[in-house]
Amino acid sequence: MTMTTNKQTNQDYQQFAKQRETKRPVFKNCIRAFLIGGLICAFGQLISTFYIHFFHFTEQNVGNPTVATLIFITMLLTGFGVYDRLAQFAGAGSAVPVTGFGNAVISAAIEHRTEGFVLGVGGNMFKLAGSVILFGVFSAFIIALIKTLLIQWGVI
C-alpha cells in the first residue's frame, strides 16, 4: 500500500465521518451552561447571606464556610446520582464553579470504593482534583511571596 493510497483512504474516512457526525447545538449548550452555572453561583450567594445573617460571619470570612457547604451539598447530590444528571444537562455550567471540584473528588471515591478505603478511596479520590489542589496551593504561595516582597520593598 502506498502513501498516496493511505492519504486518500484517510481523507475518505474523514469526509464520511463528517457527514455522519451529529451536529451539536452549541448556542443552546452555552445558554444552559450559563444559566445553570449562574444558578449555582446564586445559590452560593444565598448560602453566604444565610451565614452572614444567622451566624454573624463578616463578608471577609464567609467564603470558607460557603465553599465547604457547596462542596458538601455537591458530594451528597453526586452520591445520590442527582448531580450527574444536572451535569449532563448543564455541561460546563456545573463543572466550572467549585461544585465541579466536589463532584470530581466524590466521583472518583465512589468509583474506587470496592478496592477498599485506603487503596481505593484514599488512593484515587484526588487523581483528578489533585492537580487543581497542587496548582492552587503553588499559585497561592507565589502570590503570597510576591506580596511579601512588595510590602518589604515598600511598594504597597
Sorted by where each begins, the domain ranges of the chain are: 23-125, 129-156
Q: Return the residue matching grid coordinates 448560602.
A: 47
Start-end of H helices in the chain:
3-20, 26-55, 63-79, 82-90, 92-95, 98-111, 123-124, 130-152
Answer with the residue of higher pLDDT: 130 or 86.
Answer: 86
In this prediction, residues 120-140 reach a mean pLDDT of 84
**Residue, of 134 and 146, whose pLDDT is higher:** 146
* Torsion sign (Cα): 82, 119, 70, 144: negative
pTM of structure: 0.71
Whether residue 4 is predicted with pLDDT greater than 60 in this model: the reply is: no
Dist. CA 130–CA 147, nearest whole Å: 26
- How high is the pLDDT of residue 55? 96
* Whether 32 contacts 91, CB under 8 Å: yes
Residue 138 confidence (pLDDT)? 95
Q: Looking at residue 74, what is its pLDDT?
A: 94
* CA–CA distance, 105 with 128 (Å, rounded to integer): 7
Of residues 19 and 144, the one with the higher pLDDT is 144
pLDDT tens digits for range 64-95: 999 999 999 999 999 999 999 999 999 889 88
DSSP-derived letter for residue 115 is: G
pLDDT band at 27 (very low <50, low <70, confident <90, very high): very high
Residue 125 confidence (pLDDT): 79
Please report the pLDDT score of residue 30 as a whole number: 94
- Cell numbers placing 59: 463578608
Per-residue confidence (pLDDT) for residue 110, from 0 to 100: 85
Q: Which residue has the higher pLDDT, 56 or 130?
A: 56
Residue count of the chain, please give it: 156
| Residue closest to 35 by CA, chosen among 90, 88, 73 | 90
pLDDT at 2 over 60: no
pLDDT confidence bin for 3, thresholds 50/70/90: low
Q: At what angle do helices 82-90 and 63-79 cross, to 10 degrees?
A: 100
